[in-house]
Amino acid sequence: MKISAPRGTFDILPEEALRWRWLEAAIRRVFDYYGYQEIRTPVFEHTELFQRGIGETTDIVEKEMYTFNDKGGRSLTLRPEGTAPVVRSYVEHKLYSKGGITKLFYMGPMFRQERPQAGRFRQFHQFGVELLGTESPLADAEVITVAVELYKELGLTDLEVLVNSIGCPACRKKYQEDLFSRLSSLQELCESCLRRLEKNPMRILDCKNPRCRELTKDVPAVTDYLCPACRDHLEKTLSFLDKAGIDYRLEPRLVRGFDYYTRTVFEVINAGLGAQNAVCGGGRYDHLVEEIGGPPMPGVGFASGMERLILTLEQQGKFAGFSSAPQVAFAVLDETLAADGFALATRLRREGLTVEACLEVKSLKAQMRAAGKLQAKFVVLLGEDEWKDGQVSVRRMADGEQWRVDREEVCRFIKDLLDRDSSGREQERGSFS
C-alpha cells in the first residue's frame, strides 16, 4: 500500500521551494531593516506553556493541539503558534535583563489539528515578530507597519488592514458582562457560540456563521467600553499609522482567538482567499510574560501564514517568470571528454555560474533535448576536434546562435552575454540572496 503525507500536510516540491526561498529571503531582508533579530525555538514545548499562554478555553487549546506523552510521561505539544514559545525563551534566558526593548523574529512550522480546507493546514508555516519591553503605542504602530511594508516589498496589492482594541482586563470585564446579558437568551446561536457565551462571550463576535452574525449585528462595540488609558492608547496607535501613511480600517468586531491579547488587535486580510482570508494576525499582550513566569513586561507582535501568502502571491501573478533553470548546461559528445567536461563545469560553478554538468554522455540530440527541458540559457559543447584546439562551442538556446570559444575564456564569455541579456530581470535564480 502507498503511504501518502498525513492529511493537512504537504510536501514543498523543488519548483515550489524556489518560491518559498524567495519569500524567506524577502522576509529576512525586511526584518533586517527594522532591526528584528532571529530566534529559533523547539517545535515542541511543555503542554502547560500553551494552556497558560494561549488560554484553556480557546479553540486552539481545547480542540486543536497535537499533544502526546513522551516516554518519561511528560505531556508535550507541537507548537500551534510562536508567541508563547518566544516569550518562554525570553523569560528562560532573561533577555529582558539587558533592559530596554527586545525585538525578535521567527519563522517555521506550526501545528494545529483543524479541519483542512483551502488555505488551512495542519502543519503550516508562520513568520512573525515579537516586540517586548514597551507599552508605547509606537510599538503597536511599528509592528503593524513592518507587516504592511513587507507585503508592499513583496509587491502585494488589495490587502486590507483591520485594527481594533479589546482593552485591558478591567474594561473588558464590563463588556463581557453586558454581552452575556444581551445574548444569553438567544438559543439560536450556534453550538460553539453557546459555549463561548459561558466562557468568553466576546469571542462570539468572531463567529463566521451567518445566523450568529445576524443575531449579534447590533451588539455594542468593545471600543465603546474602553477606559481612558486604553482609548488614548488606541487613538495614538491609529494616529501614528495615519502619519506613516499606513491605511487601515477600524473593525470593532475583530477580537481574535487568544486569551493573551490586551488592547490592540489586528489582522491583514486578502478578500480573494475565500473563508481563510487572514494572511496576518497579531496584537498586544501586556500580561503574557508574567503569566509565563517573567517580570511584568508588555509585548506586541504578529504572525503571518506563509502558505496563504504564497497563494496570494500566486493569485496576483508575482511568480510569473520564476525559474530554476541553470545558466549553463554541458553537452559532452565523446566519452573520452567526460572528465574534462566535468572539470570545466566545476570551474564554471566555482566562478559563480549555475551549471548542469553532463553526467551521462549521450547523443548530441538527446543532450540538447535535455538542455532544452532544463531551460538552460547556454549549452557548452565539448567535441573532440575543438577540444584538441583548446576550444569549446557555446550555444545560446534562445536563438541557436553558436560561438567557438577558447576554453580558458568560456566563463568570462558566458558572463558577458548573461550581463547583456538579463540586466533588469531580478527574479531569476541567480539573484536570490
Rule CB under 6 A: say whether 12 interacts with ligand HAM.
no
Q: Comparing C-alpha atoms, which of 263, 162, 269, 283 is closest to residue 222?
A: 263
Nearer to ligand HAM, 41 or 83 (CB): 83
Rule CB under 6 A: say whether 120 interacts with ligand HAM.
yes
Q: Is 301 left (phi over 0), alpha (psi -120 to 50) or beta?
A: beta
Nearer to ligand HAM, 53 or 201 (CB): 53
For residue 122, count other CB atoms closer than 10 A to its CB. 19
Residue from the set 133, 167, 201, 301 that interacts with ligand HAM by CB under 6 A: 301
Rule CB under 6 A: say whether 298 interacts with ligand HAM.
no
For residue 167, count other CB atoms closer than 10 A to its CB. 25
As a whole number of angstroms, the distance between CA 350 and CA 326 comes to 14
Rule CB under 6 A: say whether 23 interacts with ligand HAM.
no
Rule CB under 6 A: say whether 307 interacts with ligand HAM.
yes
CB of 64 to ligand HAM, least distance (A): 8
List the Cα angle 336/337/342 in 5-degree steps.
130
CB of 394 to ligand HAM, least distance (A): 46
- Applying CB under 6 A, the span of 160-168, 241-249, 298-306, 346-354 interacting with ligand HAM comes to 298-306
Cβ atoms 85, 33 nearer than 8 A: no
Rule CB under 6 A: say whether 126 interacts with ligand HAM.
yes
Distances (CA, A) of 233 to 24, 136, 176, 238: 33, 8, 20, 9
Rule CB under 6 A: say whether 279 interacts with ligand HAM.
yes
Give the chain's radius of gyration (CA, Å).
Answer: 28
Facing residues of 305 across strands? 126
Rule CB under 6 A: say whether 55 interacts with ligand HAM.
no
CB of 36 to ligand HAM, least distance (A): 12
Nearer to ligand HAM, 304 or 391 (CB): 304
Residue from the set 88, 112, 233, 318 that interacts with ligand HAM by CB under 6 A: 112
Helix, coil or strand: residue 71: coil
**Torsion angle of alpha carbons 270, 273, 277, 278, nearest 10°?**
-60
Residue from the set 82, 133, 167, 294 that interacts with ligand HAM by CB under 6 A: 82
Rule CB under 6 A: say whether 128 interacts with ligand HAM.
yes
List the Cα angle 286/308/432 in 5-degree steps.
100
Rule CB under 6 A: say whether 278 interacts with ligand HAM.
yes
Rule CB under 6 A: say whether 90 interacts with ligand HAM.
no
Tell the residue number behind the cell numbers 519548483, with chain if given. 15
Nearer to ligand HAM, 283 or 326 (CB): 283
Tell the residue number behind the cell numbers 478578500, with chain if given. 271
List the Cα angle 106/152/301 in 5-degree steps.
35
Facing residues of 160 across strands? 269
- Compute how many residues bind ligand HAM; rule: CB under 6 A: 24
As a whole number of angstroms, the distance between CA 94 and CA 76 comes to 23
CB of 276 to ligand HAM, least distance (A): 7
**Helices 83-92 and 47-54 sit at what angle, rounded to 10 degrees?**
110
Rule CB under 6 A: say whether 391 interacts with ligand HAM.
no
Facing residues of 280 across strands? 268, 304
Rule CB under 6 A: say whether 133 interacts with ligand HAM.
no
Rule CB under 6 A: say whether 283 interacts with ligand HAM.
yes
Cβ atoms 227, 233 nearer than 8 A: no
- Applying CB under 6 A, the span of 27-35, 121-129, 316-324, 367-375 interacting with ligand HAM comes to 121-129
Nearer to ligand HAM, 281 or 326 (CB): 281
Rule CB under 6 A: say whether 50 interacts with ligand HAM.
no
Rule CB under 6 A: say whether 31 interacts with ligand HAM.
no
Rule CB under 6 A: say whether 196 interacts with ligand HAM.
no
Residue from the set 83, 102, 176, 262 that interacts with ligand HAM by CB under 6 A: 83
Rule CB under 6 A: say whether 166 interacts with ligand HAM.
no
Cβ atoms 383, 393 nearer than 8 A: yes
Task: State the cell numbers at 357.
Answer: 554538468
- Applying CB under 6 A, the span of 9-17, 39-47, 113-121, 193-201 interacting with ligand HAM comes to 113-121
**Helices 338-350 and 410-422 sit at what angle, rounded to 10 degrees?**
50
Cβ atoms 252, 195 nearer than 8 A: no
Nearer to ligand HAM, 144 or 183 (CB): 144
Rule CB under 6 A: say whether 282 interacts with ligand HAM.
yes
Return residues touching ligand HAM (CB under 6 A): 81-83, 112, 114, 120-121, 124, 126, 128, 130, 278-283, 301-305, 307-308
